[in-house]
Each structure stands twice: as C-alpha cells, then as structure tokens.
A and B are shown apart, each in its own frame.
Chain A
Amino acid sequence: MHQLWEIASQPDNVPIVALLFLMPFYIWYAFRQAVQTDKLILQLETNPALAKTHHRKVFPWKAGWDREVHVWPYLMRIEFLVAIIVTVILMIWSITLNAPLEEPANPNLTMNPAKAPWYFLGLQEMLVYFDPWIAGVVMPTLIIGGLMVIPYIDANPLGNGYYTYRQRRFAIWTFLFGFIFLWVLMIVIGTFIRGPGWMWFWPSQTWDHNRLEFAVNRNLDQIFGIDGSWLAHVLPQSWRGGAAIWARTIFGIFPLGVYAVLAAFFVHWLCVRTEFSRKIYQRMSLVQIVTLQIFMVTMLSLPVKILLRLLFRIKYIWVTPWFSV
C-alpha cells in the first residue's frame, strides 16, 4: 500500500489525484442538472399546454424579472470570486508542495520507469497495445480529428445549451466512453499501475526493479498457422520466397475487415435502438454517417485490441512488411 502512497505523493502526480476526485464530482454535478432538466422535459412533453407557457428552464422564473442581467456586477463578481479562490488554491498548493527537481540530466543513466508527463501517459499506455506509430502518431491525430468532427456529425438539434441525458443518450455515452474510459482511465493506469519496465504492478505490490515477466505475444496469423505454404504453389517461381509474407499480408486483411463490418453493425444497432435516435439517424447525411462510422469503429477497436492483448496475448492482427496493426 505504501507504494500507492509513494506514487500518489509524487508532486507531479497530484494533478491526477485531483482529477480522480474532480472527475466524478463534475460528472455527478452535470447529471444532477441533467436529471432535473429531463424531469422538466418529460413534464412538458406530456403537457403541451404547459409547454406553450413555460419558460422552459429548471431555474426559477417570474414574470417581470429581467431576462438578462448586467454583466457588471452580476457576472463580474462571480468571476472575481472564482479568480480569488483559484489564486488561493494555487498559492497554498505552491507553498506546501515543491515542484520536483531531480538529478541533472544524464543520458547514460536511464530512469526506470521512464514516464512521459502524466497527461500523455494514456498514449504511453497505448504503446503496450499498439506500435508507436499508431499509439504515438495516428491515435493523437484521430483523437483531435474525432473531437473536431463531433459538431458536424451530431445531427441531434436537441440538448443545445442545457444539461440533458434523455435527449442525447448516444452522444453522452460515446463521449463518456472515449473521455473517461479510454483517456482518463489509461492515464490512471499509466500512473499508478505501471512500474519499472512498464510492467503491471497492483497498488499493493512494490515496484521491484528486478522483476521479470514472461509473456509471448503472438500474431494472429501465427495462431492460425499461416505460413503461406498453400500460396507457394499458386505463386510464380520467382515469388515463392515471399510467399509467407504475402500470405500474412493478405490474411491480415480478413480479421480487420470482419471486425470493421461487425463494429459498423454494432454502431448502427446503437443508433437505431430507440424511436428517437432512429429519427436523428434519419437526419444525418451519408457523409455524416460514414464519418461517424469511421471514428466509432476506430474508437471501438481500442478496447477490442486491449482485450485481445490482455486475454489472448495477441500482438498483431495484420502483419505486413512495412507496418503491423
């Protein structure tokens, strides 16, 4: 347990610890409001008359009250308040906790584990499951891209400007999945669970620098015993040498394809589960649907790959001479 404390007390990990508390809090905070709104929505939907007259907010409202208030002072004062509080927090934090400073940089003395800044640990964790070029380059690009396209593929006009769950189940779940599960959780794992040699240490375990692990990760084709022997007959003499490679390359495409199709269907199924979401789905243009599919499928591939790796010790699904997936 002291190990856990050691990590948590690392000055640089304090933000993550903070995150651990902030995240749940704000999720709860948001959902509390969402529930209220949803109540209201339900009420209005069942009672159109009310919908005509109601001011349609969960906040109190009386005729004659200003719809708008002056920024000065009503907003300003809050901003000042927040500024001050933040300052106070920051200063206390700074006084009580020193920014870390270790030995002078020494290229000959490798730190073990050598960890990236905490906010990139998610990506570093991904390295376990993917080749660097995916985890380190493709993923971030996709994440950024994915985030950017959200407004354009979300065809649901509802829930603009207020917390709601009922009206945006799909969107919210997707986001929570991506943000909390895939991003924050990975960071937490990278920080608290990964020890020397980037090996898996439960918080109760102490980081033993001499620990050794034995794990053979095989490629899917190896499991299926693809060696291209059959291909060798088909190919012209001169190509025989590369038979195995070609075989693998070709073979690899299938599982990926299969996955893509399945995942696509899954997403589709998600989108058409309720009457409402079907309606939204209707509104989407083809481009939007395709984009949505692409990103959803890729996103889903992460947990799938992680599972494959952790459960079946599968390294690559698709092996080609140039890159592997």
Chain B
Amino acid sequence: MPEENGGKGRTGLLGKVQQDAKALKEFVKEKGKEGLEGLKDPEKTQVYRSIFRVKHEDTPRSRALSVLTNVFFHLHPAKINRDAVRYSYTWGMGGITFYLFIVLTFTGVLLMFYYHPTKIQAFRDILYLENDVPFGKLLRNMHRWAAHLMIIAVWLHMFRVFLTGSYKRPREFNWCIGVILMVLTLLLSFTGYLLPDDQLGFWAVTVGTNMARATPLLGHEGPFGSQLGMTPYNDVRFALLGGSIVDANALLRAYIWHCIAIPLIAAVFMGLHFWRVRKDGGISGPAPVMLASEIKDEKGPRPVIMKPSGLDQHSR
C-alpha cells in the first residue's frame, strides 16, 4: 500500500475486509461440518448412492436387494437352500471354473497386447513377453496354468454333478449345455497351445489335427474319404488349418478361434447355463433324500414341476 492514503480510509477499508473474513470463516465452518457429517455415514452421500443405488442396512430386505440389484451377484437367488452353501456339496467347482474363465479372459486380453499371430513374430513376441514385458512372465504363466486348472475344474464339476444326480429332472438340458461347455473348454485350451509357435505347440497341434485326416467321409484318410474325392488339399483338416500343414494360416486360425470365436460361444452358453441353473430351481441340493418306496411307477417323461428343491418340505 502506498503511504499517501489517509488514515480514516484505512479503518473503513480494513473494517470491511475483517467483516468479509469473518463471514467467510462462518461459511467454511458450516460447510465443513456438513462435509464431516457426510463422511460420518457415507451411505448418505450422492456419490455412494449413485454407485450402490440402495443403501445397505443389515435387514433381510437389503440383503436380498444387495444381491438382486447387483449385476454381478444377481446370478444368485436372494436366498438359497441353507445347506447349499456347504462346500462339501458343491465343491465350488462350477464357481471356480467361472472364476478361472474370468482370470483367463483378463490375462488373455493383456497378452493380446503383445502378441502378433504371424509366423515371423509369434515366437519373438513370446521371448519378448518372457524377458522384457513387466510381469510378462507372470502373465503368461498364469494364463497357461489357469487354463489347465480350468480343465480340471470342469471335469471335477461334471463328476460332482453326476454323483449328486443333479442332471436329473428338471436339469437334463442344463447338463447337456454343461457337456458342450466342457468341450469348448478343451477346444479353447487346444487352440491356445499352438500360439507360442514353438516345437511343443507345433507338434501337439500336428498330432491333434492329424486325427482329422481320418474323419469318416470328410478326411482324406478316413473311411470313404478318398472315395468322396477327399485329398489333403480339400478335406476337413485343410479347413481346420487353412492349409495342408500347420503353418501361418493355422496360426492365424488358431488365434481367431482362441481369442474371439470360442470365447464368444462359450460366453453365450455360460449365460444359458447359469440362467438355467436359476430357472431349474437353483442348485440341485442338498435335497432331502427320496426313498425307493416313494417312486411312483409311471413310465416315460412327466411334466416338470417347477419348484425350488429346497422348498418342497413345506408342501409336505
């Protein structure tokens, strides 16, 4: 401030400034309080609401809601058979399989960033992943092992479902879908095998596809194949590999199948699978045992009674 200004002018001006300052302080304090309160229970905040839509209390309702209103959870029913939560029954294999599928998708996508499905680059890219890409090695290992694990999980899942007779009415069709999914899993893993373009994959795939030569009617070495004019250049194996030998085309096809086609198909079937689980009345058990004496001796198929298996106690 230049000296020249008069004294009284100062007081006036100063006073004004002080008032403003006080007002500001009040305001800030107020708002601050609000803010703090907001933090006290975040569920009140707009951000929280916007994300979780419903506020969570420890009431049955909100528990139900939290499942039903959640895009990820609503695969589940709100409530299930009290015993179904036991690991001993489900072995959790279905869930694990699904989880692994997600893991695989995740790692797979990351791997795709570094991979070119061409004869020249494929192998180099793997080397690059192994040695250069941060966490590349981990990524690749996880992808591969998760794939193997998934296969085991699928088998065990099937095994379990069979032993608990869960394929029985009304779940016959879902079992079929399950079988298809298992086949898809195997195919996924198989197509992935070739991608590093190393000796291991190359020969594994060669052996695998050589069988296709012998496809009846469609393979040039299969029964009636040659009679139908099948040659190494027009038979089903050719179609699989995009050539008469495992080569650049085969690599590309494997890549497309592995990264796009099969995952899509699998995803669709999975959706179906889960949906049917719900529609067929949740998971099959643990259901109350049924006694041989209770078998109604009628033949052939009967209408499906849609009843969540857990509930049929009440009816009795």
Chain A residues with CB under 8 Å of chain B are 12, 14-15, 18-19, 22, 26, 29-30, 33-34, 37, 40-41, 44-45, 48, 51, 55-59, 65-76, 78-79, 82-83, 86-87, 89-91, 93-95, 97-107, 109-111, 114-120, 123-124, 127, 131-133, 135-138, 144, 147-148, 150-152, 154, 156-164, 167-168, 171-172, 175, 179, 276, 279, 282-285, 322-323
Contacts and interface: CB of A to CB of B under 8 A. Distances in A.
Which of A37, A44, A71, A98: most chain B Cβ within 10 A? A71
A22 B156 contact: yes
A95 B139 CA distance: 10
Nearest to B223: A323
B313 A158 contact: no
A251 B210 CA distance: 31
Interface residues of B, number: 116
Secondary structure of the A side of the interface?
helix
A322 B227 contact: yes
A276 B286 contact: no
Interface string B287-316: 111111101011110000000011101100
B108 to A, nearest CB: 13
Could you tell me the dominant secondary structure of chain B's interface residues?
helix
Interface of B: 60, 63-64, 66-67, 73, 76-89, 91-92, 95-96, 99-100, 103, 123, 126-127, 130, 137-138, 140-146, 148-149, 151-152, 155-156, 158-160, 162-169, 171-173, 175-176, 179, 183, 186, 189-190, 193, 196-204, 206-208, 210-216, 219, 221-224, 227, 245-247, 284-293, 295, 297-300, 309-311, 313-314
A56 to B, nearest CB: 3
Contacts of A33: 88-89
A-B pairs, top 5 by smallest CB distance, nearest first, are: A136-B211, A161-B287, A161-B285, A56-B288, A323-B223
A151 B167 contact: yes
Given A41-B291, A90-B149, A160 B169 contact: yes
Contact of B293 (A45, A104, A115): A45
